[in-house]
Chain A
Amino acid sequence: MIWTALFLPLAGFLTLLFVPFSRRVVNIIGPATILASFCCFLGITEYFETTLYTWISLPYLRADFSLHFDALSKLMTLIITGVGFLIHAYSAGYMDHDKDFRRYFCVMNFFIFSMLLLVLAQNLLLLFVGWEGVGLASYLLIGFWYERPAAQMAAKKAFVVNRIGDLGLLLAIFLSFILFGTSDIAAVNQNGQAVTLLCLLLFWGASGKSAQMPLHTWLPDAMEGPTPVSALIHAATMVTAGVYLVVRMSPLFTADGLQVVALIGGITALYSALCATSQTDIKRVLAYSTLSQLGLMFMACGFKAYNAAMFHLTMHAFAKALLFLSAGNVIHMLHGVQEMSEMGGLAKYLKKTNVLFLIGVLSMGGIPPLAIFFSKDLILEELSSSTPYYVLGLTVSLLTAYYLMRAYSLAFWGPTRVKTAPEEAPKVMILPVAVLGVLSIVGGMWLAQSFGFHAGPGMWISIAVAIGGILLGMAYRPALRLFYKAFYINELYQVSIVGPLRWLSSLVANVFEPTISDTSLEMTVDASYKTASLMQKMQSGLIRSYIAWILIGTSAVLLYLVGVS
């Protein structure tokens, strides 16, 4: 059953890659494989390990193609296929004008397969296959509209920055083989040792995929992809892979390692919350918000609150997918407008979307009893053991409620700035979003018990903060250039890293290379010419010089023989 569930999306990918189906069939195959896979995962009730075959049969780098199914993998697979199915179904509506719908669903199915492999893999090498697979899918989907220059730049950036993170994970895998002789996750976790270098390398890998500082720059640009892609890959699933990795390998993390995780998470959470307050593009607000929430999850991990992190991951998947898809409705119905300055007053036209987006805002903002309230409060409670982190967490919550309300009121309230009145989105684009809306409302109440949430006095502070943020967002909406440009970090990287490296490459290609190639050749040719002309000089045609050469030669031989004997 688990193999069926895993390989169904792969089968979907291969079918869509090779068979030119019509749009109607593609719209069915794409979501259907994911739904079937979801049902399979739902049906698996026991936890087990299973092996298909030996993938790398080397004694020193052995890796089996084997899966490990436990509570954590089950949660992840259900999020991936559940939210994944809703987004696939939604995509049928969103991509209805695009001629490349087959390529779209093809890569989306490939993504689901890779992501499932990532969370099911029994060893780190196999996990790495899924890890890079989702990176490839993300690259292909960010660059889906290949004719747009911004999209291709963003795709390349995402691939390259992800690869920097992947190098860290690869080194972590090597270190795990050196230390423990295996990369089997269960074996590594049970060995009882925690090594700071190993967990730092793992976190390096995690921070690439989950876009934590300093490898965060690719995620806001990744919004160039179609909006359902942003919802699925760059909000609900792929970017949470880093959190999953840290939680999965949690026994390995030392106190020093956890401090780094909490610190980086905290910095990213605050930094991107500030950036989100001044964005003008609705998708970029959501992108920075995702970064910020991921930072919050890592902070929770840093305090060993893995349950809280996974709870927030799940709730965030619902609420952020909801926000992205409602934003997708807006963008689709306005024919590609993403700047909030060109929206305004949309509540009148997009009545259903308006309600759905508002649910998302209130839920993400932490208003009880909606979903995020529970998970965020659980994290805040765990952070309360350290005052600086608790204050940081509260600030981030305040900012979250603020910038989401700000975005909502800019887009849906106030005077309308659209040229022609938009229509409400079609049913296929409302229904999946409505399901997510329901989940974002009741998800927290439904799962709070199982993740260990309990009401405490700190709850009232976080409620007050959330309401304060919402109210502030309604009233006060400045935009700071420093925040809008994300503290100029992109520009800084451009000047300090990309620029010098590019200069070096052109130096090598245009200065060193021609010189080496030509000079070395000239030297060879010169040397042979000189030898030849030296030889020529001996053939002078003068008897006297020949006699001299003969004398020199003979005496040299004689001297040598005398010397030898």
Chain B
Amino acid sequence: MLLLFLLPLFFALLVPNQKAAFIYSLAPLALLVTGHTEPIQVDWFIQGAIKFHLAADNLSLIFLYLVAVIVPITILVQKDKYSLTLLLQGLLIGFFSSQDLLFFAFFFEAILLPLFFMLEKPYKFIIYMVAGSCLMVAAVLSVLFGGISSTVVAAIFLLAFAVKTPLFPFHGWLADTYCLAPTSATILLSSLLSKAGIYGLLRISYRLFPAEMLAWSDLLVMVAIGGVLYGAFAAWGQLDYKRLIAYSSLSHVNFILVGIFAGNMIAQQGAIFSAINHSITIAGLFLVAGWLEVRLQSTNMLAGHGLTAQIPRLAWLTLFFILSSVALPGLNTFISEIMVLYGLFQISFWQTLLVGTTVVLSVIYMLRWFHSLYFNKPTGGHYSDIQTKELLIGSPLVLLILWFGIYPTAILTIIQSIK
């Protein structure tokens, strides 16, 4: 565990080039696969009240694997700042395996540091993040020493996680940040950072304050359903495809939150699976969006028509990720989506019907993007299709999508063993 955490940080100090950074970033995956996850525990402060304690149960393992798989892919589409990505990888590993609340809070804030330097115009993002979690230190201390009522503490944690995920309507930072950032940073944000909030809800909110979360369940589910629909409509109205994907991500993470807040076991298991699938699929979508942006020199949906004629392979790949995103059966998202919907169905038919409309809405906005670029009369200009290198970068995501969609037994067993 210590090695898992320290290796990326050490590699970050070497200031590697792309090839080296890619190889270094695979180290955590190698360690995870070979089972090097024995916990580490060191007393640090106030006679064992605060410990440096890293350990990985199944909930942590899922997110650690995501970090280990997604980060190497982003390094391959990155142009510089590899050290920062490796630093972020180390901090994320620390975050997802911290068992001590103080270190959890420390890593929760620390992951903002490398991101600050990786994003374009990061101020909006940082202000939101800091505003969301400025009271968290107080909350952590009050958990340690007591003093504030647990309702207030639960609310503070909820606010911090809600901003990070983001839960509607705390998403003001999302579209601009996703859209302005380089592809690699957008993937890191949408695929991994959004999961920090979700992991926090599962690890802290539901383990430390189950009563409060249960009491707020109805309200929170309604807000999250609002977020699902709001994100879908916002995506539908975009003219810029990177913003469109950003809002589709908003809609999908709020769908995950619906599952978490619904509070029953089925919906929460579905939410965890949804979180994994969202990481994979959104990475794929931003990957192909990035390749399109390189070719079109624009993220405007009207920048090209009929591109299928020139870049058929990219068209197929785009369609594949879109189908995963709209939860086509046989692909990953379908199973997690029906788990969440079925969990919700046991609580309320009408809420299920309401959030189920996303099945239709997601097709509407995703096809709007796909059709405006790939269909209609081809425009002039020469675009080169993706080559073997790009196909190889995308292939781990494609394989994961097919694996989880067709033969999900392994992942479902792990998810069922949580709690």
Contact = CB atoms under 8 A, between A and B. Distances in A.
A505 B244 CA distance: 12
Nearest to A157: B367
B124 to A, nearest CB: 6
A148 B374 CA distance: 11
Interface stretch (B95-103, B109-117, B375-383): B375-383
A206 B230 CA distance: 29
A506 to B, nearest CB: 4
Nearest to B335: A56
Given A147-B378, A517-B175, A152 B360 contact: no
B128 A132 contact: no
Contacts of A155: 371
A interface: dominant SS: helix
Given A58-B416, A146-B308, A174-B341, A164 B237 contact: no
B266 A60 contact: yes
B230 A508 contact: yes
Contacts of B368: 156
B106 interface: no
Interface string A128-146: 1101110010000001001
B335 A163 contact: no
A504 B233 contact: yes
A174 B342 contact: yes
B329 A156 contact: no
Interface string B151-190: 0000000000000000001011101100000000000000
A152 B376 contact: yes
B311 to A, nearest CB: 12
Contacts of A521: 124, 127-128, 172-173
16 contacts: A55-B407, A58-B412, A129-B329, A133-B330, A147-B306, A147-B376, A163-B359, A170-B338, A170-B356, A501-B236, A505-B233, A508-B237, A509-B237, A516-B169, A517-B175, A518-B172
B326 to A, nearest CB: 8
Given A505-B233, A509-B234, A521-B127, A156 B371 contact: yes
Given A178-B346, A508-B234, A513 B175 contact: yes
Contacts of A524: 127-128, 131
Contacts of A57: 408-409, 412-413
A54 B356 contact: no
A267 B416 CA distance: 48
Interface in A108-163: 125, 128-129, 131-133, 136, 143, 146-149, 151-152, 155-156, 159-160, 163
Interface in A485-516: 501-502, 504-510, 512-513, 516
Contacts of B269: 58
A177 interface: yes
Given A61-B339, A164-B360, A171-B353, A54 B306 contact: no
A94 to B, nearest CB: 21
Contact of B345 (A54, A148, A178, A510): A178
Interface of A: 53-58, 60-61, 125, 128-129, 131-133, 136, 143, 146-149, 151-152, 155-156, 159-160, 163-164, 166-167, 170-171, 173-175, 177-178, 501-502, 504-510, 512-513, 516-518, 520-521, 524-525
Contacts of B335: 56
Q: Which 9 A-B pairs have the closest CB atoms?
A: A509-B237, A152-B375, A505-B236, A505-B237, A129-B329, A517-B172, A520-B172, A508-B233, A505-B233
B36 to A, nearest CB: 28
A147 B377 contact: yes
Contacts of A516: 169, 171-172
Nearest to A510: B237
Contacts of B59: none
Contact of B363 (A125, A163, A505, A506): A163
B413 A166 contact: no
A149 B371 CA distance: 10
Contacts of B406: 55
Contact of A132 (B308, B329, B356): B329
A429 B309 CA distance: 28
B357 interface: yes
B172 A149 contact: no
B323 interface: yes
Interface of B: 124, 127-128, 131, 169, 171-173, 175-176, 230, 233-234, 236-238, 247, 266, 269, 306, 308-309, 323, 328-330, 335, 338-339, 341-342, 345-346, 349, 352-353, 356-357, 359-360, 363-364, 367-368, 371, 374-378, 406-409, 412-413, 416
Contacts of A125: 329, 338
Contacts of A505: 233-234, 236-237
A55 B356 CA distance: 23
A167 B360 contact: yes
B interface: dominant SS: helix
A147 B309 contact: yes
A163 B356 CA distance: 11
Nearest to B374: A146
A54 B131 CA distance: 47
B358 to A, nearest CB: 9
Given A136-B323, A178-B346, 9 more contacts: A56-B408, A148-B376, A156-B371, A167-B356, A174-B338, A178-B345, A509-B233, A513-B175, A524-B127
Given A160-B367, A524-B127, A58 B376 contact: no
Contacts of B172: 516-518, 520-521
Contacts of A506: 237
A269 B310 CA distance: 44
Contacts of B233: 501, 504-505, 508-509
Contact of A160 (B131, B238, B363, B416): B363
Contact of A509 (B131, B238, B345, B346): B238
Contacts of B408: 55-57
Contacts of A171: 345, 349, 352-353, 356
A540 B409 CA distance: 68
Most B CB within 10 A of own CB, among A128, A151, A506, A513: A513
B359 A174 contact: no
Contacts of A156: 367-368, 371
Nearest to B365: A505
Nearest to A126: B329
Nearest to B416: A58
Contacts of B342: 60-61, 174, 177
A148 B131 CA distance: 50
A53 to B, nearest CB: 7
Nearest to B239: A509
Contacts of A148: 376
Contacts of A61: 266, 338-339, 342
Contacts of B124: 517, 521
Contacts of A502: 236
A486 B58 CA distance: 57
A11 B408 CA distance: 22
Given A61-B342, A147-B377, A521-B128, A132 B416 contact: no
Given A147-B377, A505-B234, A174 B360 contact: no
A163 B329 CA distance: 12
Nearest to B408: A56
A18 B266 CA distance: 39
Contacts of A151: 375
B345 A167 contact: no
A507 B236 CA distance: 10
B164 to A, nearest CB: 15
A513 B259 CA distance: 25
Given A147-B377, A163-B363, A525 B175 contact: no
